[in-house]
Structure 1
């Protein structure tokens, strides 16, 4: 079976399974948080000014900022979806390297930065506080099952959302291109149609997803093939 087919099957199966898990909707804003932080960080790197970020209960978000017109709007427009895709890959790489604590720390740090410096709406603030608390409990809990599978739940949801976002954007680019979010903004800046930008986001998301899935599979195979150790005491 080709790697691309395996990736698609994993993504579809993960999407079906995670939607059956109670409260899984709560974690879908992790992808939104990372997406909006990507915009905020690039704005600052390009000497722009971030006013604030808002996160919403429907898993959408928006970053309000000032930046010069011209070429700077292109990296700004690219940053959201690509940051989210790369972050999902990062979570799986940390899992494959048995560095869950690094992944946990990254998620918590990003939530703290968002809460302290950027997010100002009621839902966004309450969600961030809740996520930081839940993440902290799972990070330091002494039960390995919870520590591992909570992490994988968040990682797979981030991966699903990082792929579904560009797909939804692509549909919007066809049906209502002027309202296609980042793709519409890039189209206005470059005169390249929104659907082209949506496809670029999707290609990057699928590339990251393929490498993330195979990091997960490789970890599972190495765990099964590791020799067991038997200890006895007289």
Structure 2
């Protein structure tokens, strides 16, 4: 069985299991936050202006921005799904290196930056505040085993959303190419149709997912190398 098929089956089972966990839907907005944050950062990098971001309870989001060049829409539109997929891969890479605490700190920092700089709608602000507070509590007082389980839940939810988001985009692009979000934006400034861009997003997300699951199944590097770390002996 190919790695791709294994990855898809793993993600389907993972999605089923995570939906059984109470309040897991709350954390699915993490992928949305990263997606929109990617749009915002690339917009600023191209000298554009980010007006504001909205995050919604249904795990969707939108970034409102102004750009001076029509062609700058290409990297900006590409950034959302690409950033989300790469971030999911980063979470598993950090776990493989026994750096879950750093991963949680990165998530919290990005949430704080999103809250201060970009997000302005009530639902998005409420979610960010709740997510930040929960992360701070976990980082401050949770025992090591609970913190690592919490991190793993966030990593898998982010990975699932980073793959199923582009997959659903294919259906949107097939049924109504004008309402396929980033894929529609790209088709408007390039000769390629929206469904082509949606497929490209999906292929890239699956490539990242294959690598992420390889890291997960391989386990932590410190365990493989048999080199105990002093800090592990003192963590709660």
Match of 1:232 in 2: none
Cα deviation digits, residues 7-62 of structure 1 (max 9, x gap): 11211111000000000000000000000000000000000000000000100000
Q: Structure 2: state its 5+ residue gaps.
A: 229-236
Q: Which is further off, 115-124 or 7-16?
A: 7-16
Q: Report the Cα offset of residue 143 of structure 1.
A: 1.4
Cα deviation digits, residues 76-132 of structure 1 (max 9, x gap): 110000000000000000000001111011100000000001001101001000000
Within 5 Å, give how 1:121-200 maps onto structure 2: 121-200=121-200
Q: Report the Cα offset of residue 227 of structure 1.
A: 9.7
Match of 1:80 in 2: 80
- 1:98–1:190: structure 2 CA closer, same or farther, 3 Å change rule? same
Q: Report the Cα offset of residue 226 of structure 1.
A: 5.3
- How big is the alpha-carbon RMSD for the aligned residues of Structure 1 and Structure 2? 1.7
SS of aligned partner of 1:199: helix
Q: Structure 1: state its 5+ residue gaps.
A: 229-234
Query: Matches of 1:41 and 1:34 in 2, distance apart?
Result: 10
Following TM superposition, where does structure 1 have runs of at least 4 consecutive aligned residues deviating by more than 3 angstroms? 220-228
Is the Cα–Cα contact under 8 Å of residues 82 and 205 in structure 2 kept in the other structure?
A: yes
Q: TM-score, normalised by structure 2?
A: 0.92
Q: TM-score, normalised by structure 1?
A: 0.93
Match of 2:105 in 1: 105
Match of 1:219 in 2: 219
Is the Cα–Cα contact under 8 Å of residues 141 and 147 in structure 1 kept in the other structure?
A: no
**Aligned residues between the structures:** 228
Is the Cα–Cα contact under 8 Å of residues 96 and 221 in structure 2 kept in the other structure?
A: no
